[in-house]
Amino acid sequence: MKVLYFSWMRERVGLTSEEVETRAATVRDLAQELAVRGENYAYAFENLAAVRVAIDQEMAELDTPLAGASEVAFFPPVTGG
């Protein structure tokens, strides 16, 4: 699965994207797996309430199942317009 990071999630993790092998059932499970990969990840995921997610380029929730997903993106609340 491809995992992307944007805005300060990208800066904290230090990556724009990476390939991740996971059996996580939900977005929240995936976030918790990633959070223990190192200090940079722990910092990025320290407050899940401030994290938004998209699955295959559609907005999703932390409890959305990951079954069949090929691309997951983590980012803060959007600030365009």
When binding is defined by CB under 8 A, the residue of 8, 14, 42, 65 that contacts another protein is 8
Q: Which two tokens stand for residue 76?
A: 């803060």
Distance CA 12, CA 24 (A): 22
Strand 2-5 and strand 71-75: the pairing is parallel
Is 77 one of the binding residues for another protein (CB under 8 A)?
yes
> CB of 69: closest distance to another protein in angstroms?
13
Handedness of CA 64, 39, 43, 8 (dihedral sign): negative
When binding is defined by CB under 8 A, the residue of 1, 6, 15, 35 that contacts another protein is 6
Q: Which residues bind another protein (CB under 8 A)?
A: 4, 6-8, 10, 54, 57-59, 73, 75-81
